[in-house]
Amino acid sequence: MKARLLLGLALLVVGPGLLVRAEAVAPVVKLGGHIERSEDAVEVRGILKIAEGYHINAHVPDEAFLIPTVLTLEAEGVTFDEPIYPDPEAQTFPFSPEKPMLVYDGTIEIVARADRAPAGPVHATLRYQACNHERCLPPRTVEAFLGEKGTVQDAGATNRRAIGTSQESWLLSWLQGASLPAALGMTLLLGLTLNLTPCVYPLISVTLGFFGSQSTTDGKPWPLAVAYVAGITLSFATLGVTASLAGGLFGAPLQHPAVLVGLALLLATLAMSSLGFFEIRAPSALMQRFGGSSTGISGAFLMGLTMGIVAAPCIGPVVLGLLVYVGTERDVWKGFSLFLSMGLGMGLPYVFLATAAGSLDKLPRSGEWLSWMNRLFGVLLLAMAVYFVAPLLGHEFMRFFWPIFLAAGALYLGFLEPSGRALRAFTLGRRLAGTAALVLAAWLGFSSTEASVGIRWQPLGASSLDQAISSKRPAVVEFAAEWCLPCVEMEHSTFVDPDVLRDAARFSMLQADVTEASAENERLLEEFGVLGVPTIIFYDEEGREVDRVVGFVDAEEFRRRMLEAEGGPV
C-alpha cells in the first residue's frame, strides 16, 4: 500500500489536527501513582488520568509515525523492569468509521516491578501525545514523584520534539492489534513456512528416514513423528513461557539505537552466510550429541526438543520478533499458546508425511533449487537488517531505498544468480517472478518520485513576507510540524496536485516549521496569531491577509482559496 494512503487513513482517524500552544491549554493527562510493597515484590504503579473527550496513543501505536506512550522510572540504586502497559482499545472516530486506532482513554495504570524498595520517591516521566475527535495536541512530557502513600509532586511539563517512531517489527505491530485466534493462525503459518528454510528443509528426508528405521513393530512411523512434534512444541512453548515471565529482558531491546544497529549487523551476517560468502554451522559436537543418535520414541522426542539448535541460523529472526512481543505482553498463556502454535506449524508436516505412504519419494530433492532458496532468504535477511535501522535513516531516505533494493534483489534472484539454471521450469518461474518484482519496483519508484515533487517552500523569515509583498506577488504562508498528521498528508496529496503546483508558481510560498519549541518559533506564532498547525494564511498582492484556514485542506479547496487571494479580498 502506498505511503500516502496510510497517511490518509491515519488522518481520517484524528481529523484536522491542531497544535495548541502549551500555554493555551491545561494538561490533558495527569500523572500520579504510588509505590506498592508486598512480601515478594516492590511495584511502582503509574496512574494516568486522561481528560474526558481525549485519548492518547497506545504504547505500540498502529502507525509508525505516531508518538507512543512511554513511562520511564528512575530511582537511585534501583533497577526497574520494563513497564507493563494495559491493552489498548481499538476505537473508531467520526472521521474514520472504518479505520480503528489503538488508544488509551479514561484512567489507566502502568505497572513496573523494582528489584528493591527505593529509599525515596520514584521520578516518573511520561511522554505522550493526546488527541480528541478534531485536533491533536503537541507531544508532551510530564513528570511526577511517586511516593509510598501516593503523594504526587508535579515536576512540570515541557514541550519537546517527538523522538523517533515505533520501532517494532511488522510482526510485532500486526500481533499487537490482532485477536488471539488470528495471532495463533499467523504463528502456525509462520511455523509451516520455516520448514522451507535452508536450515530445516534438508532435515525432512533425514528425519523421515530415521522414523522409518526406528518405527514400531507394526511398521508405522507416525508414533515417532508425533513424539518428534511433541518435542518441538514443548521446546517452543517453554521458550514462550520463559519470555513472558522474563518480561523486560525481551521487551526493551528495540528502544535503543545501539541495539537496533547490533541486530541489523547480526542479520546482515546471517544474510552473508545465506548468500554464500561463508557457512554457519552448529558445532559438530552438538550435532553429534543431539543429531539423532538416540533411538525409539524417546530418541524422536529428544530430536524434536533440540531441533531449534540446528535450525537457529534460519529461524532466529522470526523467533526473536515473537520473543520481543510476548516479553512485552507478559502474558504467560499468550506466550505459551503462540509459541506452541509455531512449534505445531513446524512439526505437523512430519506427521502427515510419515503417515502418508510413499510421501518421502514425492518430496522435491535438495539441490540447486534449495541453493537458490538460500539466496532468497539471504536477500530477505538483508531487508530485515535495513528495516531494523530504518528509523535511524529517516523516512525520505527509505522511501527511495526500498524500490532500489527491490529492483536489485529481483535482478539478482531472477536473472543473475546461477543456481537452478539446469531446471527449465524453475528458471522460467524465477524469471517471471523477477520480472514482476521489477515492475513493482518501478511502480514504487515512480510513486516515490511523484510524491517528492511538490511545492518548493521557502522558509518564513523576518523579511521573506516583506520581499513577497514588495514584488507584488500574492503569498501563502503555512505553519507546519513534522509530527502533524494533516501536514504530512497535505505534503503527499494537496501539495503535489498538478493544478495546485501550476497555480503556486504565481505565488510566494512560505513555510514555518514549528516542530521544535524555540524562541524564534514562539515569536513567529505570536506575530502571526497562530494557535494550531496546520495553519495556512493567504495574502493578496498588496500584502493583505484575505483568508486563513486551520486544519487539513484538500487540493480543490486549497486551489480555490489561492485563486480568491489572487483576485483580491473577497
CB 342 within 8 A of CB 188: yes
Q: Which residue has the higher pLDDT, 108 or 292?
A: 108
Query: What pLDDT is recorded for position 154?
Result: 40
Regarding the domain delimited by 3-159, which CATH topology (the fold level of the hierarchy) does it fall under? Immunoglobulin-like (2.60.40)
| Position with higher pLDDT, 369 vs 37 | 37
Q: What is the pLDDT of residue 195?
A: 76
How would residue 13 be classed by pLDDT, with cut points 50, 70 and 90?
very low
Per-residue confidence at 525, pLDDT binned at 50, 70, 90? Answer: confident
pTM greater than 0.85 (yes/no): no
Who has greater pLDDT, 530 or 108? 108
Q: Give the closest residue to 341 by CA, choosing from 328, 327, 326.
A: 326
> Higher pLDDT residue, 460 or 92?
460
Question: 408 or 472: whose pLDDT is higher?
Answer: 408
pLDDT at residue 550, as a whole number? 79
Domain ranges of the chain: 3-159, 170-362, 458-566
Strand partners, 50: 29
| Residue found under cell 503556486 | 504
**Residue 164 contacts by C-beta under 8 Å, 6 or more apart in sequence?**
391
Q: Amino acid identity of 294?
A: S
What's the per-residue H, E or C state across 287-322?
Answer: HHHHCCCCCHHHHHHHHHHHHHHHHHHHHHHHHHHH
Residue with cell 511539563: 157
| Integer CA distances (angstroms), 458 to 49, 113, 515, in order | 42, 50, 16
* pLDDT per residue as tens digits for the range 81-123: 999 999 999 887 655 556 677 899 999 999 999 988 888 889 9
* Average pLDDT over all residues of the chain: 74
- Show the cell assigned to 13: 482517524
CATH superfamily entry for domain 458-566: Glutaredoxin (3.40.30.10)
% residues pLDDT > 70 (the chain): 67
pLDDT score, position 329: 62
Q: In 10 A of CB 526, how many CB atoms? A: 10
